[in-house]
A and B are shown apart, each in its own frame.
Chain A
Amino acid sequence: MKQAKKKLRLLPGLILVLVFVLSACGGNSNSSGKESSGTGEKSSGPVTITYYTIDSPDRTYVEKLIPDFESAHPNIKVKVEKAPYEQFDSKLQANIAAKNAPDITSHFGYGGFAEYYNKDLLTDLTDIMNEDGFKPSDFGIQDELMDIYKVDGKTYGIPFSNYVTVLLYNKDMFDHAGLPYPPSDYEDKSWTFDKMVEVADKLTVRDDDIEKSAYGVNFGWGELDMRPAYFGVKVYSDDTWTNGGKPSETHFDSPEAIDAYQQLIDLIWDKEVSPTPAWSKSVAGQFGDPFLSGKVGMTVGGSWSLASQDQFNFKIGVAAVPYGGNDEERSVLYVDPLFVLKDSKHPKEAYEFIKFLISKDVQEKSIELSGGTPPINDQAKDKYYNSFEGVDPEAIKNVYDGANKYGVESYNHLVANYSQINELFINEFAAAENNTKPVPEVMQGIQKKLDKLLERVNK
């Protein structure tokens, strides 16, 4: 008995030994990685910077550009870390907590620029850029786009891609209905919201049989909270755009805002030219976009849809977003910046890599490697316009020129705590989209909840 007990006492010891052996293995397998970054702290050897991104081919293409960069910059090594979209924020958070933050990333996950800025995660790049004599024009970046990620005149992010909002139309449906294609020129004043509704009406087939039915337009302009801007209605107070995304006031229940939302809901239930949520769900299935079913004539949405157009079972064209009464803002821009995180030990080297990524040749290469990411660099845009077989390059060029001229950056990048706001909208606005509650009532409800939410989160 005594002996047995003695032996039993050995067991925890054995387990401990096992753990130590395993940990020794771990130390070995990791030490190689540590050495390279360890020597980085001495100024002599190469430094390693980490680029953190989403694990999908349209983001990880950066890996293929690294050899070129490293041969041009022998003192800098670049490592790419990646995570699936859903877990992007969690992994970043854990790494920041463990003092293992990446050097470069973007708002690739749920949180937008405002989130990063307000959590004080970003390096102010202004001094580094001034020292280097950075000129946006050298990299073909339009000044307006460069300004998006400035707060108080300080630059916290350098744009690298330039998605915009476009109107895609199903050429087959237009041909079938014998209608002329919508224009791509933003200066064509005849192309208005009302005109679009008129065209949509001709494309719509109202039939209870879902296979025979078709709709004219799916108006996905920006996120839900942003849509009044299309009609020129302000919903966030002006200070939102200068203080890092914390609105002092919001006006979602103003008569103008309610009227704007009413116009959009009328597309579904009054004019019946837009699909109901139920119809969209049943034709879009797992892919989420009813336009892909070939049963929606026009769709307003992000220009990323272009990148997948060769998979569509119909021919498409691109056109301008119609004029809705706002003289300045007609296209929502999704300009993604690259950030250098505050914990970065090598901000200068990180900045060098960002400069490399936005240079003309690399931007041109990136279009192909990423399967159609629009370059921020104007010098590389021609290549982008010509990357979509069967779609008129001239039309894409017109649409991009107009979109950037009449562009407004998507609020999801600029308003703090956006994912909560967006979730509130998606949940509450469903009642209006499903026609179970009148729009004014829905908007008053949203405004009340939003006030509470903002009071809680923006303290």
Chain B
Amino acid sequence: MTGGQRLSSDDLSAAAGDGDAAAAEQVFWAAGCASCHAAPEAEGDALLTLAGGQRFPSDFGTFVAPNISTDQQVGIGGWSFEDFATALRNGVSPQGRHYYPAFPYPSYAHMTDADIADLWAFMRTLPADQTPSAGHELSFPFSIRRSVAVWKWMNLDDEFVLGAADTESLARGRYLVEALSHCAECHTPRNAFGGLVKGRWMGGAPNPSGKGSIPNITPGALDWSATDIAYYLGTGFTPDYDSAGGHMARVVQNLARLPDGDRQAIAAYLKALPPVAPLDGGG
């Protein structure tokens, strides 16, 4: 693992602009960038202005999403492609500072070079916004950024969690779930240090906001058919035709922009997961 190191163009097999624009936009939605980095309450085209400002309470304090628009001063308009790739893969800023893993780089680290290049090319086309990033509001000792280096050593992993993915659909599903869409960040419980508990992968977790819980989506608790799962991810409709709310409503809006085959691939992945037994009181 090269955590902490800066990537150079020699480390990357693709360059920004190699891919096609439509594919690049799909990487952006699959990766869910706008769900956290758009301004609070943004809808429609405003989702493309990555002004930051949404607040994410957690056990460690409140994280505030930064401005990652193309503004030269307060956004990432002055970054190079290598800066961007280093941030996504190693969780390190152009100034060499560690990012807190509220930014899901442990998932993005699995992204292909080609997808990182596509994503960068697409994000370069988005509007600039001059809203300065607000700082995170973290409690000691989590306010010490250097402690993140230790966290990375404990938690970054080159391997996918689902070992076997022997069909094309399952491999695509694994890539979407574990790399781009970073589902485990909410659906997998964390240990006292904020690391994901791999033994309960996708087994549900308390909501970091403190209210309620995020469901277990392994076959140990979720008994929907693959068709129902794929349909839910595209429309928000559960098999009872209730509809998704909260943060998941935004995830559905992202995934609805992907081809049918991608949603079916995610469903295939969830069906292939080792079942995690529900905890008492649901999960």
Do the two chains bind?
Answer: no
- Residues of B near any A CB (own CB < 8 A): none
